[in-house]
Amino acid sequence: MAPINILPFERPIYELEQQLEILENQPDPTPGTKDAIRNMRVEIARMKREIFENLDPAEVCLVSRHGNRPQTLDYLELVFDEFVELHGDKAFGDDRAIVTGFAKLDDHKVLLVGQQKGRTLKERNQCYYGCAHPEGYRKALSKMQLAAKFQVPIICLIDTPGAYPGVDAEERGISYNIALNLREMSMLNTPIVCVVIGEGGSGGALGIGIGDHIAVLQFAYYSVISPEGCAGILWKGVEHKDKAAKALRFTAPDLAQLGVIDEVISEPLGGAHRDHRAMATMLRGSLNAALKELYTIPKDELLNRRYEKFRRFGVFEEGGDPAAA
């Protein structure tokens, strides 16, 4: 039986895989059947590569939101060891949209900060679909400051459509708390690695996204606004979301070309939602390499580089005098 969460462009892949499963389950396959199985496996791999190498930005957005895509808690199980969760902001409550705690990444002791959307309806309601409240950002910052005190590196896994947009979040100072995180993270005297593992939406992502090494998974996106939100503002209709997605240039290759991120982390053939373990292995390798490099940089230089990294965003050179053209 095919999975429920099938994206439109994935359907030919699943149809072929169903045919392959029927052939593989035959009790006494003939030599011809064995040849057909081999050829079909090759064709499935070719089809995956062709489809996923040619996704447009709107399709990348769909992959980043896939219901089976690995989330922070999945990576906690597959990448990290000895996780000790830290709860609460010491002011209001414990926001389940952001998970924080100390963990081990191979030989490294790290503080993990990650946004969690949830899988079941109950989990999603508890996590507000990954949209954190002010207390979530306060929790994240207080734990990051604790890590900096003991010179423990910080890893942030970003996966949110944006901060919680409700009245209660506004009343409790969501904008202030995100802005505070931006300022304080820029001055934390310890290495910070940020990885967008799914959606990287607006200030909700930036609230834990100020770091020394910024990476984005191959089929994740990192943007000031969702394509639906952009289409609603600029073209007054969500039906223009594909046009907005292209204009925003929020895919990992675009971001790397623009100098917004430092690394594009490849995903398994067919996307991370098809193979959690393979994706976890790739993420582990990227995190280890980033931390190894950041450990070699003196702390003063580390802070200066971090500051200059974000100061460069939006810098442009003007051409000649337009009147002379």
Long-range contacts formed by 6-11: CB under 8 A, 24+ apart: 7/59, 7/62, 7/63, 7/66, 9/51, 9/55, 9/59, 10/51, 10/270
Q: Where are the domains of the chain?
A: 8-54, 60-311
Residues 87 and 90: their CA atoms lie apart, in Å, by 9
107, pLDDT greater than 70: yes
Residue range 64-96, pLDDT digits in tens: 999 999 999 999 999 999 899 999 888 898 989
Across the strands, what pairs with 192? 154
Question: Residue 1 pLDDT > 50, yes or no?
Answer: no
pLDDT, mean over the chain: 92
Residue 32 above 90 pLDDT?
no
Which stretches of 218-256 are assigned E, i.e. beta strand?
221-223
* pLDDT category of residue 141 using cuts at 50, 70 and 90: very high
**pLDDT of 207:** 95
Q: Is 271 exposed, middle or buried (CB count within 10 Å of its CB: 0-12, 13-18, 19+)? A: buried
Q: CATH number for the 60-311 domain, one of 3.90.226.10, 3.40.50.880, 3.80.30.20, 3.50.50.60?
A: 3.90.226.10
C-alpha angle 25-8-241 in degrees, rounded to nearest 5: 160
Contact 157, 99 (CB under 8 A): no
Angle separating helix axes 241-248 and 57-64, nearest 10 degrees:
90
- pLDDT (average), residues 128-137: 94
Query: What would the mean pLDDT of 45-73 be, rounded to a whole number?
Result: 94
Q: 274: which residues sit within 8 A by CB, 6+ positions away?
A: 68, 268
pLDDT of 115 above 50: yes
- Reply yes or no on whether the pLDDT at 317 is more than 90: no
Averaged pLDDT, 239-264: 94
Sign for the CA dihedral angle at 176, 181, 186, 188 comes to positive
Confidence of residue 3 (pLDDT cuts 50, 70, 90): low
Angle between helices 227-234 and 57-64 (to 10 degrees): 130
Q: Which two tokens stand for residue 190?
A: 């310890």
Where residue 2 falls among pLDDT bands split at 50, 70, 90? Answer: very low
Q: Is the dihedral of CA 38, 39, 44, 49 positive or negative?
A: positive
Least Cα distance to 103 among 81, 121, 123 occurs for 81
User: Which pLDDT belongs to residue 320?
Assistant: 62
Q: Is the pLDDT of residue 321 over 70?
A: no
Element holding 156 (H helix, E strand): strand 154-160
CA dihedral 301, 305, 308, 310 (to 10 degrees): -140
Query: Is the confidence at residue 179, as pLDDT, over 80?
Result: yes
Is residue 314 predicted with pLDDT exceeding 90? no
Residue type, 267: E
Q: Is 36 exposed, middle or buried (0-12, 13-18, 19+ CB in 10 A)?
A: middle
Q: What is the DSSP letter of 88?
A: -
Q: Is the pLDDT of residue 221 over 90?
A: yes
Query: For 249-253, 283-287, 295-299, 317-321, which range has the lowest pLDDT when averaged over its residues?
Result: 317-321
